[in-house]
């Protein structure tokens, strides 16, 4: 949401508002808003963009943003209005809280502190707001990790089911998953301990070894059944992994 950026800020107000089922127009404002939806559902329409908001969502609305919001149920929200020295103002964004209790506690304390203004409340307000930003960053990172794990799991399953297809490659996998190849390689290596190319090659070679040991097929046929279009490239790949050429490996097994 804020990409881990450090910025100066000033809290202008903290409000707890309830809205009935309704449609409302929000004009451009000179300040930013960070909103926690304690209850209710709504839809924000900004130009051609539509964002659905649900209970336990955290929403950032930048200054100067004009939109229409439609509440499909009664709403209960805590809104923080603030100024900030962003290098580049982030766009409208929404995040569903994976740990809503943390946000319920922090936004609740923020609102109570603003209302009651105890001794030192200015520092406490800033501290609580920073804690909210920390939670946003933490949950964003956790979501990215989960996405990366899902991506790698999906890739592994695709490799196991499709390694015999010579068109299956690291590039085709990353494209299907919607990631650039370099990022896909990095998250795969972090998760699996080997590169996706190494994993795919090992799958193909292990399958080739099983076929060679069965002695039902020629080396050329084994190459084809293992996802290689060239027997020569298969032999090179096989020797790189096992230390022997396919024919030597087969001769050794026959002794």
Over residues 66-85, the mean pLDDT reads 94
- Report the chain's mean pLDDT, rounded to a whole number: 91
pLDDT of 58-74, one tens digit each? Answer: 999 999 999 999 999 99
Q: Whole-angstrom Cα distance, residue 173 to residue 171?
A: 5
CA-to-CA separations, 153 to 50, 119, 156, 192, in angstroms, rounded? 31, 52, 5, 10
* Contact yes or no for 70/28 (Cβ under 8 A): no
Q: Whole-angstrom Cα distance, residue 244 to residue 237?
A: 10
Most confident of 48-52, 146-150, 250-254: 48-52
Which residues of the chain are in CATH 2.60.120.280 domains? 9-140
pLDDT of 49 over the 90 cut: no
pLDDT at position 56 is 94
Q: Residue 57, Cβ neighbours under 10 Å: how many?
A: 22
pLDDT at position 253 is 65
Over residues 82-98, the mean pLDDT reads 91
State the greatest distance between any 2 C-alpha atoms of the chain, in Å, as a whole number.
88
pLDDT at position 84 is 95
pLDDT of 53 over the 70 cut: yes
With bands split at pLDDT 50, 70 and 90, how would you rate the model's confidence at 55? very high
Q: Residue 117, Cβ neighbours under 10 Å: how many?
A: 11
* Contact yes or no for 217/211 (Cβ under 8 A): yes
> Does domain 163-255 bear CATH number 1.10.10.60?
yes
Length of the chain: 255
* Contact yes or no for 223/231 (Cβ under 8 A): yes
Which residues of the chain are in CATH 1.10.10.60 domains? 163-255
Please, what CATH class does the domain formed by 9-140 belong to? mainly beta
* Model confidence, pTM: 0.60
Cβ-based neighbours of 144, under 8 Å, separated by 6 or more: none
With bands split at pLDDT 50, 70 and 90, how would you rate the model's confidence at 28? very high
Over residues 219-247, the mean pLDDT reads 93
Q: Whole-angstrom Cα distance, residue 172 to residue 75?
A: 45
Q: For the chain, count helices (H), then strands (E).
A: 8, 9
**Residue-wise over 214-251: b if at least 16 C-beta within 10 A, else e?**
eeeeebeebbbebbbeebeebbebbeeebeeebeebbe
Give the helix ranges, DSSP H, for the chain.
100-116, 121-162, 170-177, 181-192, 196-214, 219-225, 231-242, 246-254
pLDDT at position 47 is 82
Q: Rg of the chain's alpha carbons, rounded to an integer? A: 28
* Contact yes or no for 165/227 (Cβ under 8 A): yes
pLDDT at position 10 is 96
């Amino acid at each position: 949401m804020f990409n881990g950026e450090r910025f100066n800020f000033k809290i202008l107000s903290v409000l707890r508002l309830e809205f009935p089922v309704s449609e409302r127009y929000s004009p451009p404002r000179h300040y930013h808003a960070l909103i926690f939806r304690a209850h209710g559902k709504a839809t924000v329409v900004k130009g051609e963009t539509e964002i659905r908001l649900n209970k336990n969502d955290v929403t950032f609305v930048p200054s100067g943003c004009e939109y229409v919001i439609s509440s499909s149920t009664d709403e209960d929200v805590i809104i923080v209005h603030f100024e900030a020295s962003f290098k580049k103002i982030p766009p409208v964004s929404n995040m569903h809280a994976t740990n809503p209790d943390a946000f319920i506690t922090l936004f609740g304390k923020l609102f109570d502190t603003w209302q009651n203004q105890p001794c030192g409340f200015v520092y406490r307000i800033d501290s609580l707001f920073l804690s909210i930003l920390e939670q946003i960053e933490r949950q964003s990172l956790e979501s990215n990790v989960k996405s990366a794990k899902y991506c790698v799991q999906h890739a592994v399953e695709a490799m196991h089911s499709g390694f015999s297809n010579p068109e299956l490659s690291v590039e085709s996998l990353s494209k299907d998953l919607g990631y650039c190849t370099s990022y896909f390689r990095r998250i795969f290596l972090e998760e699996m301990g080997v590169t996706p190319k190494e994993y795919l090659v090992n799958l193909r070679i292990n399958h080739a070894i099983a076929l060679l040991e069965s002695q039902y097929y020629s080396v050329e046929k084994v190459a084809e059944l293992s996802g290689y279009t060239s027997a020569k490239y298969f032999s090179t790949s096989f020797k790189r992994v096992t230390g022997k050429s396919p024919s030597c490996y087969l001769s050794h097994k026959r002794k």
